[in-house]
Amino acid sequence: MSQQTSPPGGSGPLPATGQGSASGSVRQTGPSPGKGSGPAFLGHMGRVRNLGLFVVLVLLCVVGALTSGNFATRQNALVILSSAAVIGVITIGQTFVIIGGGIDLSVGAIVALASVWCTTVATQSYGLGGMIVCALAVGAVVGLINGLIISYGNIVAFIVTIAMMASARGLAERISDRQSQVVTVDSFNSIASTKWLGIPLLVYILAVAVVLGWVLLNRTTFGRRTFAIGGNQEAARLAGLDVRRHTLVLYVLSGLCCGIAAVMLTARTTSGASNLGNLYELDSIAAVIIGGTLLTGGRGSLIGSILGVLVFTTITNIFVLNNLTTDIQQIAKGLIIVAAVLIQRRGRRTAAP
Amino acid sequence: MDKRGLGGMDRRRLLFSGAALGGGAMIAGCTSNKSDASTDDVKAASKAGTDNDKPGKQVTIGFSAPAADHGWMAAITKNAMAQAKQYSDVHFEAVEGTNDVNAQISQVQTLIGKKVDVLVILPFDGKALTSVAQQAMDAGIPVINVDRVFDTPLAYRTWIGGDNFGMGLNAGLYIGRTLKAKGVSSPVIGEIAGIDNLELTKQRSAGFKKGLAKYGFRVGIRQAADFTADSGQQVMSNVLQARSHLDAVWNHDDDQGIGVEAAIKQAGRDEFFMVGGAGSKHAMTEIKADSSVLKATVVYPTNMSAAAIKLARLIAQHKGMGDLVGEDLPSSLTLFSATVTKENVDQYLPGAFS
């Protein structure tokens, strides 16, 4: 699993988590270890980051394979991964923003706006390249506006992005006149149907985004600054970091991820519409949270977020394979989310100093 | 990767935001959607053969409907406006569409306060809007209830709406008939429903079941999406995994159908045929071209709002319906859900919503 680089020393009261603290004796604050195998087992899971979530995912796969003969196939695995691709890319941006101490509630609306803008008759006349550039630029610019207002206007991220959620979707409705805009550029639609070596292009896009995101977060100064600012903004500022500019870039990054996701989603549905990406902000935030990232920022894991997304898409897949009704799906989804968070936290509590 | 100091980061960041801004400026001109002149408005409005359409007493019609955030609902509002414009003796007072029942209640109250002559209401939720509609009736303002029905007949003078049960029934009958003709004995039939907790979805599914039962068939897999293309794509891609062979699929809504069809194309499946719902222009164009698995759609008419405006005007002017016998308008009108196939698509295409 991912080995977390510890945050920059001295920039804030950030406890090193995961394997870093697992050397030798692990100090325990929770119930004392060794009494019964259950807690001890859970305790071990906390030493390797995200193992709890990984166990949940494996359990889900076992359930899927046992309940449906169609689950454990290569093709079904690719369907799950393709479904996870769109929300996965959004969740990468969301993870950066939340680790940096913010939140982006406008992701679903940005996806809708970018999908609508890049599928207007005028944009489609520019062909594949024009449409992609348009979607990415819309995403980045909306993220830039979010970032500018949050960092230089000094307004809470929650309020700014909720306002953007309303106005971006409103603008999407205005541009599209609330109609579905069907994509007639075949090369654009083929983004969703192209396969290389039997694997859909969408899955490659997700994989590349995850790798780039992981390196950026865990192996660069930019990543370490993100942890530092999210952990303690004041300490980070005193340490000489330009908190405002860094926060701004985080929202641009999130917007850009939404732009990429919009391209993927638009190709997948072969249409742009103002109601696309509905409630994606909740899906992405839920994935980030069950992935073990603190909602208050400063600590978190990108791999955890992606595992969270995979847990969600796998649940949906298993439900449909077994033809369960929507009400049962929702009840079970809620229970699984709580169970996943409990297992994650149980593991972390025993591992954290 | 990036191990440089602040300076390096700065320059890159500056370049990046510069590029983003430039891109934004470049695409600002790309919001235009005007490919063909919009003549839809005129098509939906109609002129009757009686002299009821001759200008009469000046009347004010109040109109309230949910937010036009969906192709069908957008067409409803548009068609109502277009119809009202046809009459020189109608003053049309439309309030902003909303999906918040609370807001819609206050809007209807505002219209009552303005003392309009007659109200046309398509409630977001029939039950929630019943009491305010009754207030209007009590104040002497006749209410035309469109589609989503109020709880009590005390709340409306006339109800006009679609037939959700009939829509499912006709989809089921078409699928049953087609499979019977093909000689399929125990078919696997899929159903992609709309939002599951809506009354209309339950009625559509009940009708579908009934239609299939006539041929001794039943639904093999049923999953609900939420009327959007992305939910349709998501649900259908999983359904296709659940059943490696399908014979027929009914998808409740043509807007979500865009995503459903995309999923089918992406999975490379074509062993079954599909029937749509609502009757969008896109769906009908595909049926006409016969280029995909979509072979038919069951219409849920959008011109009912235009009809409601005509009825409202007649009520306010105290006239009966010309083509019916009698002095008064009927208290309820259920519209037919036609099955549109390649054979009759030309007849319905002009009235389809986009």
Query: Is B234 inside a domain boundary?
Result: yes
Q: Which of A34-38, A321-325, B127-131, B170-174 has the highest mean pLDDT?
A: B170-174
pLDDT for A292: 86
Identify any residues that bridge with B334 across adjacent strands, giving them in sequence order.
B161
Residues B155 and B197 in one domain: no
DSSP string, B140-207: T--EEEESS--SSGGG-SEEEE--HHHHHHHHHHHHHHHHHHHT-SS--EEEEES-TTSHHHHHHHHH
Query: Is A21 inside a domain boundary?
Result: no
pLDDT over 90 percentage in chain A: 65
Q: Which residues on chain B are in Cβ contact (under 8 Å) with A141?
A: 20-21, 23-24
For the record, the structure tokens of A310 come out as 């995979």
Residues B131 and B244 in one domain: no
Contact in structure between A213 and A96 (CB atoms under 8 Å): yes
Q: What is the mean pLDDT of residues A78-100?
A: 95
What is the tally of structural domains in chain A?
1
- Residue B304 pLDDT > 70, yes or no? yes
pLDDT for A10: 39
Contact in structure between B309 and B83 (CB atoms under 8 Å): yes
For the record, the structure tokens of A138 come out as 């819309």
Q: Where residue B315 sits, what CATH number does that domain have? A: 3.40.50.2300
Tell if the CB–CB gap between B20 and A140 is shorter than 8 Å: yes
E strands within chain B?
59-64, 90-94, 118-121, 143-146, 158-161, 189-193, 219-224, 248-251, 273-278, 294-299, 332-334, 339-341
> CA distances (Å), A193 to each of A189, A221, A258, B193, B334, in order?
7, 37, 20, 25, 43
Query: Is B65 inside a domain boundary?
Result: yes
pLDDT for A259: 97
Query: Is A5 inside a domain boundary?
Result: no
Query: Is B18 inside a domain boundary?
Result: no
pLDDT tens digits, one per residue of A98-118? 999 999 999 999 999 999 999
Residue A223 belongs to domain spanning: 48-351
Interface size, chain A vs chain B, as Cβ–Cβ contacts under 8 Å: 178
B interface mutation test: which of A90, A110, A246, A320 has the most B CBs within 10 A? A320
Of A274, A321, A326, the CB nearest to B241: A321
pTM value surpassing 0.90: no
Contact in structure between A178 and B74 (CB atoms under 8 Å): yes
* Interior angle at CA A203, CA A198 and CA A206, nearest 5: 160
Contact in structure between B266 and B338 (CB atoms under 8 Å): no
- Residue B248 identity (one-letter amino acid): A
pLDDT for B37: 45
pLDDT for A8: 42
What is residue B353's DSSP assignment?
B
Of B2, B232, B242, the CB nearest to A221: B2
Q: What is the mean pLDDT of residues B161-181?
A: 96
Query: Is B25 inside a domain boundary?
Result: no
For the record, the structure tokens of A276 come out as 């696309």
DSSP string, B101-116: HHHHHHHHHHHHHTT-
Query: Is A231 inside a domain boundary?
Result: yes
Tell if the CB–CB gap between B224 and A326 is shorter than 8 Å: yes
Tell if the CB–CB gap between A121 and B34 is shorter than 8 Å: yes
Query: Is B349 inside a domain boundary?
Result: no
CA of B266 vs chain A CAs: smallest distance (Å): 5
Residues B285 and B195 in one domain: yes
Residues B250 and B315 in one domain: no
pLDDT for A33: 40
Q: Where residue A135 sits, what CATH number does that domain have? A: 1.10.3470
- Residue B283 pLDDT > 90, yes or no? yes
If you measure CA to CA, which chain A residue comes closest to B13? A249
Closest by alpha carbon to A63, among A307, A328, A322? A322
Tell if the CB–CB gap between A137 and B238 is shorter than 8 Å: no
Q: Nearest 5°: phi and psi at B45?
A: -75, 150
Contact in structure between B248 and A329 (CB atoms under 8 Å): no
If you measure CA to CA, which chain B residue comes closest to A73? B241
Residues B148 and B168 in one domain: no
If you measure CA to CA, which chain B residue comes closest to A314? B238
What rounded mean pLDDT belongs to chain B? 86
pLDDT for B353: 85
pLDDT over 90 percentage in chain B: 66
If you measure CA to CA, which chain B residue comes closest to A315? B238
pLDDT tens digits, one per residue of B328-337? 888 999 999 9
When pLDDT is cut at 50, 70 and 90, the band that residue A201 belongs to is very high
pLDDT for A11: 40
Residues B184 and B201 in one domain: yes
- Residue A13 pLDDT > 60, yes or no? no
CA of B244 vs chain A CAs: smallest distance (Å): 8
A interface mutation test: which of B3, B30, B196, B256 has the most A CBs within 10 A? B30
Chain center to CA of B334: 16
Query: Is A93 inside a domain boundary?
Result: yes
Tell if the CB–CB gap between B27 and A176 is shorter than 8 Å: no
* Interior angle at CA A177, CA A174 and CA A180, nearest 5: 120
A interface mutation test: which of B15, B26, B31 has the most A CBs within 10 A? B31
**Which residues, at least 6 apart from A31, have a Cβ–Cβ distance to it below 8 Å?**
A39
ipTM of the complex: 0.76
When pLDDT is cut at 50, 70 and 90, the band that residue B13 belongs to is low
pLDDT tens digits, one per residue of B229-279? 999 999 999 999 999 999 999 999 999 999 999 999 999 999 999 999 999
pLDDT for A329: 83
Q: Which residues on chain A are in Cβ contact (under 8 Å) with B238?
A: 79, 83, 316-317, 320-321
For the record, the structure tokens of B222 come out as 């049923």
Residue B96 belongs to domain spanning: 55-162+302-319
Residues B170 and B289 in one domain: yes
When pLDDT is cut at 50, 70 and 90, the band that residue B168 belongs to is very high
Residues B148 and B260 in one domain: no
Is B97 part of the contact surface with chain A (CB cutoff 8 Å)?
A: no
Residues B208 and B242 in one domain: yes
What rounded mean pLDDT belongs to chain A? 85
Q: What is the mean pLDDT of residues A72-78?
A: 92
Query: Is A278 inside a domain boundary?
Result: yes
Query: Is A154 inside a domain boundary?
Result: yes
pLDDT tens digits, one per residue of A139-196? 999 999 999 999 999 999 999 999 999 999 999 999 988 888 999 999 999 999 899 9
Residues B168 and B291 in one domain: yes
E strands within A214-304?
271-272
When pLDDT is cut at 50, 70 and 90, the band that residue A43 belongs to is very low
Residues B155 and B271 in one domain: no
Residues B81 and B111 in one domain: yes
pLDDT for A38: 46
Query: Is B351 inside a domain boundary?
Result: no
Q: Give the max Cα distance, chain B.
A: 87
Q: Which residues on chain B are in Cβ contact (under 8 Å) with A147?
A: none
- Residue A132 pLDDT > 70, yes or no? yes
Is B11 part of the contact surface with chain A (CB cutoff 8 Å)?
A: no
Query: Is A205 inside a domain boundary?
Result: yes
Tell if the CB–CB gap between B242 and A79 is shorter than 8 Å: no
> CA distances (Å), B256 to each of A270, B37, B201, in order?
11, 26, 14
When pLDDT is cut at 50, 70 and 90, the band that residue B30 belongs to is low
- Residue A16 pLDDT > 70, yes or no? no
Query: Is B90 inside a domain boundary?
Result: yes
Instruction: Classify strands B294-299 and B339-341 as parallel, antiparallel or unpaired.
Output: antiparallel
Separation between Cα atoms, residue A125 and residue B30, nearest integer Å: 9
DSSP string, A284-337: HHHHHHHTT--TTSS---HHHHHHHHHHHHHHHHHHHHTT--HHHHHHHHHHHH
Return residues 178-197 of B near A (CB < 8 Å).
196-197
Return residues 22-41 of B near A (CB < 8 Å).
23-24, 26-27, 29-35
Q: Nearest 5°: phi and psi at B185?
A: -90, -55
What is the tally of structural domains in chain B?
2
Q: What is the mean pLDDT of residues B183-189?
A: 94
Of A82, A180, A274, the CB nearest to B282: A180
Query: Is B267 inside a domain boundary?
Result: yes
Query: Is A31 inside a domain boundary?
Result: no
pLDDT for B282: 92
Q: What is the mean pLDDT of residues B10-39?
A: 54
Q: What is the mean pLDDT of residues B117-146?
A: 93
pLDDT tens digits, one per residue of B43-80? 555 554 567 888 888 999 999 999 887 778 888 999 99
pLDDT tens digits, one per residue of B191-238? 999 988 888 899 999 999 999 999 999 999 999 998 899 999 999 999
pLDDT for A349: 57
Q: Nearest 5°: phi and psi at A182?
A: -75, 135
